[in-house]
Structure 1
Amino acid sequence: MPEIFRVFGFRFLFYSNDHLPIHVHVRNSDGEARFSVNPVQLIDNRGMKPKDLKIAEGLIEENEDIIAQRWKEFFHQ
């Protein structure tokens, strides 16, 4: 499970068996959510609070290029 980065108690990662489209999993102490990257959009949420989802969404938007680059490097695309 490659971790992309960790900030404010959030872990941004993807699973080694993930599939297209490019998306990112976000974990914190409350749960996990999954977001598409382009456009940044919540796919599903398992326990994260609404305020944390907004923070995570903003961090994904700010780091969209890094996330996509790491995805392409890992999955050789």
Structure 2
Amino acid sequence: MPTVLRIGAFRFYFYSHEPNEPPHIHIDRGDATIKVWLTVVEVAKSRGFRAHEINDLLSMVEEHRTGLLEAWHEYFG
């Protein structure tokens, strides 16, 4: 599970066994987790985050989207 980015308590990472899915990022903080698509920034699934936290996370992903997509393509080819 390569970590791509850390912002505060949030860890942004990929699962190495998901190369056949569209580009996405997983974000964890404690027991809360979210999966966000990167082509169009939207939630794939989420558990444990509140609505305002999800909106903040989507903004973070949007802000770092280019770098996250580059990391995805570099890792998965």
Q: Match of 2:4?
A: 4
| 1:30–1:49 CA contact under 8 A, matched in 2 | no
**RMSD over aligned Cα, in angstroms?**
1.1
In structure 2, runs of 5+ residues without a counterpart are none
Q: Match of 1:49?
A: 50
1:49 CA displacement? 1.6
Cα distance between partner residues in 1 of 2:25 and 2:65: 10
- In the alignment of these two chains, the number of paired residues is 76
Normalised by the length of structure 1, the TM-score is 0.91
Normalised by the length of structure 2, the TM-score is 0.91
Amino acid in structure 2 at the alignment position of 1:7: I
The share of aligned pairs that are identical, in percent, is: 28
Q: Match of 1:62?
A: 63
Partner secondary structure for residue 63 of structure 1: helix
The yes-or-no answer on 1:15 pairing with 2:15 is: yes
Partner secondary structure for residue 22 of structure 2: coil
Amino acid in structure 2 at the alignment position of 1:27: D
Partner secondary structure for residue 20 of structure 1: coil
